[in-house]
Amino acid sequence: MPTPPDPAAPYPDVAARGSLASALRAAAEGGLDAVAVTSPDAEPLLHATAVGRLPHREPLRIRARSYQRQWSVRGAESSQDMALIDGETEDLAEVARAVRAWCDGLALEDVRRAAPFVHLTGRFEVPDREPSRLVESEWQGMRREAAELEYVWQEGYQSLIEAAHAEPALRALYPFTSHWALRFSTTTRPDLTVVGPSLSANSDGTYGVGTGFITPDLGLFATAQEAVAVAVRHLPSGLGATTLGG
């Protein structure tokens, strides 16, 4: 079994401070004095969390890589723990600026302006947890993710997401993926209520529709629009508005 890396090796400056939280405070030069930034007792050089003032935001999570000098951040909304921002950088001062902006409650675009390494996932904040807005936010995040993919079958997957979003009956449902199969729910996270067929974009350029998880038992189709039309025909009748899950 290989020897685990010494967490202090890539981060001598962090080790000198005793924790990532302390190193962030030092890098911020007083900018985080009013922010609750802490590191766990386990692996204090590699992890930190920062609690902000907005109750609908989870604490910002900061993690350091074990084998190379790089930090990542993840900021999620509190109702579903779905990421609103993420990103990676080798600049600890830039991480500190992201922490301050997130915890001060700046708008997501302003968080990115304060720390340009921050990536917006496409989801937007829904402080009142209104179900239709959560659905809209998730669709927006899924569409951005599809547009940013770099896999060989990216175009097919993006076409599938866009075709499904263009169909009102599917756009009203909460979308999610499992092993890149597009599925739908009548409730938001955390407790999904799966409904209707699953859709998949295949490496050979076809699109599958199935009643189960991955098997395309309802057929393979040449276009995303054809597959989406079949999925709509197999939706249960009488579906009401999407509701909160959990």
Residue ranges of the domains in the chain?
Answer: 12-120, 131-233
The tens digit of pLDDT for each residue in 150-208 reads 875 688 999 999 999 999 999 999 999 988 899 999 999 999 999 999 999 998 999 99
pLDDT for 182 equals 97
Model pLDDT, residue 152: 58
**Region of poorest pLDDT, from 2-16, 37-51, 73-87, 105-119:** 2-16
Arithmetic mean of pLDDT over the chain: 95
Average pLDDT over residues 22-36: 97
Is 90 exceeded by the pLDDT of residue 13?
Answer: yes
Q: What is the pLDDT of residue 21?
A: 98
Mean pLDDT of 20-33: 97
**pLDDT (0 to 100) of residue 154:** 80
What is the reported pLDDT for 214? 74
Q: What is the pLDDT of residue 150?
A: 82
The mean per-residue pLDDT over the stretch 211-220 comes to 88
Q: What confidence tier does 2 reach under pLDDT thresholds 50, 70, 90? A: low
Contacts of 192 (CB under 8 A, 6+ apart): 174, 176, 185, 245
Give the pLDDT score at 142: 97
Per-residue pLDDT band at 1 (split at 50, 70, 90)? low
Global pTM reads 0.93
Report the pLDDT value the prediction gives residue 225, as an integer from 0 to 100: 98
Distance of CA 109 to the CA centre of its chain: 16
- 76-135 tens-digit pLDDT: 999 999 999 999 999 999 999 999 999 999 999 999 999 999 999 999 999 999 999 999
pLDDT level of residue 6 (50, 70, 90 thresholds):
confident
